[in-house]
Amino acid sequence: MTYTLDIEGYGDSDGGYYLIASPVSMIRPTAENGFLTETYDLYYFDQAQEGEEWRNYEAKHFNIVSGKGYLYASQENTTLTFTGVPYNGNGEIVLDQAGWNLIGNPYNTSATVNRDFYRLNADGSELELSETSEVNKMQGIFVEAQTENEVVLFDAGMGTFGDTEMKLNLRVNGNNGSSDFARIRFGEGSTLGKFMFNANNTKLYFTQDSEEFAVVRSSNENEMPVSFKAGANGTYTFSVNAENMEVDYLHLIDNMTGADIDLLDTPSYSFEANTSDYAQRFRLVFATTTGINESADTFAYFNGSEWVISNMGKATLQVVDMTGRILSNEAISGSTTISTDNLSAGIYMMRLVNGNNVKVQKVVVR
């Protein structure tokens, strides 16, 4: 069988890279099948080669095999031709090593993959977290393995890997055309590290234990620090959208300007940024009741300057202000009292959490 992939030449511009994959078992790059144009780049990625992760085809030749991914660019337009025996496996790709692996969709159709991954952005200049689980035919992707010999599953039947999970998707777009994407997932599963071609490009990420992540996991109630680095001075727009969940509070706090944006009321926030700005500029404050049983039963009563909390057994008591910020989060056993002396006059939400049972009550401090 013969399959083709059109490559748009980068000409005099930056970028123009493709992550490619073969739908046939093996081919040898030649000028006749479109790979070896007058000016081209072809690389194989191997993280085990410290300092030389990108293996240049011009320096050391290699064959293109199914299940692997490759980085390719051509200054001139070209058509890559893949002729050989079509892939007929079960979609399982074994990752060679812990860390980053460049793999490819082995099918000649789109397929979904069972984990978060990176693909190249639209202009082929930078890696970007994929917003969907779909991988195009003849497309390569970057995945991260915690241990060697992990298995990634490509499903040509277009299954719904991760499509029903609760997510908060974060995006930043610059007026210079740069952008980046990050995600908060809820429930069980792995995180995904932050991986880029150029550390000086615009990036949106989370920092935990001195490591950078594009995907993190969170509980149903949280405040998540969000890091951002501008690739160039200019105006940027931050936006968040929820998938498969109802969000009660969703506020973006700009630590630099003090701005507090209710993203449920105003779905995006534009701001000025410089390359020298400190990274941990934002906080995302969110609360959701999706997946838990919530009751509006009265359980908090005023007694002078204290709230009396009526409760049986062990629970977690949270005080949340109307920006969604969690002011206190403490474990209690039985009924208890809470002083209002440190709270300004205003409206607050009390949440009493016991496993999947949550009671919520709005209270007013005068």
Q: Which residue has the tokens 């009390």?
A: 350
Looking at residue 188, its pLDDT comes to 62
**Closest by alpha carbon to 114, among 190, 216, 17?**
190
Looking at residue 361, its pLDDT comes to 81
Domains of the chain by residue range: 2-155, 169-288, 293-365
**Closest by alpha carbon to 118, among 199, 181, 210?**
181
Q: Please determine, looking at this structure, whether the domain spanning 293-365 carries the CATH number 2.60.40.3080.
A: yes
- Chain mean position to CA 178: 16
d(CA 47, CA 52): 8
The pLDDT tens digits of the residues spanning 250-297 come to 889 999 998 989 898 899 999 999 999 999 999 998 866 555 444 556
Looking at residue 268, its pLDDT comes to 95
- Beta strands 346-354 and 314-321: pairing type? antiparallel
The pLDDT tens digits of the residues spanning 184-232 come to 988 666 789 999 988 889 999 999 888 999 999 886 556 789 999 999 9
Looking at residue 162, its pLDDT comes to 57
The pLDDT tens digits of the residues spanning 45-79 come to 998 887 789 999 999 999 999 999 999 999 999 99
Residue type at position 223: E
- Burial of 156-173, coded b for 16+ CB within 10 Å and e otherwise, reads beebebbeebbbbbbbbb
The pLDDT tens digits of the residues spanning 298-346 come to 788 877 778 888 888 888 888 887 666 778 888 888 888 888 777 877 7
* Dihedrals phi, psi of 134, to nearest 5 degrees: -90, 135
d(CA 258, CA 265): 18
Mean pLDDT of the chain: 88
Residue type at position 240: V
What single DSSP character describes residue 300? E
